[in-house]
Amino acid sequence: MPDVLAASDDPVFGLHRVLDDACHATRDVGLDDDALLRMYRELRRLRLLDEKMLLVQRQGRIGFYGEVKGQEATPIATAFALDRDDWIFPGLREGAAMLVRGFPLATYLAQCWGNALDVQKGRQMPSHFSGRAANQVSWSSCIGPQVPQAVGAAMAMRARRAGSIAVGFCGDGATSEPDVHNALTFAARFKAPVVLVCQNNHWAISVPCRAQTAAPTFASKAVAYGIPGVRVDGNDALAVYEVIREAAARARRGDGPTFIESVTYRMGAHSSSDDPTRYRSNDEVAYWAQRDPVERFRRFMAARGLVTEASDAALLEELAAEIQSAIAEAERHGPPNRDGLFEDVYAELPWNLREQRDALRAAEPAKSH
């Protein structure tokens, strides 16, 4: 077995689980059958979406894509555990949380093209999904800054007495960044209504987590900040749901932040630009493939009588059609309006930018009829 930082026998934090080794739930987490079926659909859709979008990238139709394969449980379960008015500050692999909130799939995917359907107006890099309608803020490719942003937003919510909280995500590599340290220090000191989640997928691109920290686990870092630390099986969607829900309730009560280490694994490449065979073994990937969060949830659902081979086949066919339709819709749009270069910064455009905008409009070729 590979050397992994995922042992359940941590003497302080253990590993919070709901599903046992046979994929049976050891307790009821409060989700009825309809909610479980919705959660399963979201997990399946995200896995299939990644497969389709990687093919699109390999065909040269988009420039970049960051797949989630192996880590689907944390973003999907988090979205189920939060209230609709809560804010999400994702990293690379949590963007699909906004799909759980009903954000249109075609509009979501348009961000990878940066075209006229993209609500970000083509201003952001691919796989930086966000949308005001879903209360989700775009992450930054500079590792870690979304964590203090989440803390700041949480403080603003408290000042407004909104009753909402924020959730900020980072990876194991980001815990070495000053932004994460600053965020944890500030959040702890001022009891910000925030939940901070570290997805420990064992690799900060090519740097293994054991080369990232001397701490026994990432959850143990919470002790130094004076806040609760929780270590959860990130490949167990029910456990993640339970932990996030409890941490969110704690933040809402005014008891301050919680730092959660979600122990998972990136089964695919870091991104479409990465070749993971250069730095990790096939044995390690095979070990974690046996703990695939989507397959574990499928086995749980099957044992509960909610999923059959026939229903699964029908679901995959339905999802494939939905995704193909959304890709076609996203791809058919042209580039964003060039006037967007001058929008969303000033309430009233200054004279010099008005001149530049007018010059750009004058330089546009005449449209044929």
How far apart are the C-alpha atoms of 360 and 223, rounded to whole Å?
56
Tens digits of per-residue pLDDT, 27-81? 999 999 999 999 999 999 999 999 999 999 999 999 999 999 999 999 999 999 9
Question: Could you say which of 84, 279, 304, 332 is catalytic?
Answer: 279
Q: What is the mean pLDDT of residues 354-360?
A: 96
Residue 281 — very low, low, confident or very high, per pLDDT cuts 50/70/90? very high
**Where are the chain's structural domains?**
33-336, 339-369
Question: Could you say which of 270, 291, 296, 298 is catalytic?
Answer: 270
pTM attached to this predicted model? 0.94
CATH number of 33-336: 3.40.50.970
Is 333 annotated as catalytic? no
Tens digits of per-residue pLDDT, 135-165? 999 998 889 999 999 999 999 999 999 999 9
How far apart are the C-alpha atoms of 274 and 330, rounded to whole Å?
25
The predicted pLDDT at position 365 comes to: 75
CA end-to-end distance (rounded Å), the chain: 66
Is 128 annotated as catalytic? no
Instruction: Give me the helix-helix angle, 237-252 and 293-303, nearest 10°.
Output: 100
How far apart are the C-alpha atoms of 139 and 304, rounded to whole Å?
37
Look at residue 151 and give its three-state secondary structure: helix
Is 270 annotated as catalytic? yes
